Amino acid sequence: MILRAATPLDVPILLRFIQELAAFEREPDAAKMTEPQLHDSLFGPVKRAEALLVEIDGAPQGAALWYESFNTWTGRPGLSVEDVYVREAYRGHGIGRAIFKYLAKLTLARGYLRMDWQVLDWNAPAIKFYDSMGAEPQSAWLRYRLSGQALNALAA
């Protein structure tokens, strides 16, 4: 197993993993990002996110995408994990733990105080995995989103 930083040549496989994750999360049509958008987000003049790939026997089988967040209470940045994906045939083989270990080390190396991510409430295997790492659900906080027509109406 090799974990490595993504390169511009990895954009097509990263996009494919994002699409596979959207299908797994029961929203296959929600993944609308294009290769140029992903390339610009990861490697453009203003980097919006970072990514890594996990290779098994020379072939990508998993990936993670993350970005820097900021906490006003501590005045310090954090690492916000956007996506972690492992292809179905490779789940349960330690890839997810290796990804989170890598991200935990990165979080500490950068002087960040915490790592945050979300999980769908029906994804019992992922919740069990996160619990096994000592992660704690933030059940007191509800996540809200403003988008589409409601976003346009508020902005008007």
Are 95 and 62 spatial neighbours (Cβ–Cβ below 8 Å)? Answer: yes
Query: What's CA 78's distance to the chain center, in Å?
Result: 14
Are 50 and 67 spatial neighbours (Cβ–Cβ below 8 Å)? Answer: yes
Residue with the two structure tokens 């690492």: 79
| Edge-to-edge strand list for the sheet holding 59-71 | 2-5, 50-56, 59-71, 76-86, 115-116
Active site residues: 130
Q: Could you tell me the two tokens for 100?
A: 């989170």
Residues 18 and 24: their CA atoms lie apart, in Å, by 10
Strand partners, 115: 79
Alpha helices in the chain (DSSP H): 11-24, 35-43, 95-109, 124-132, 148-155
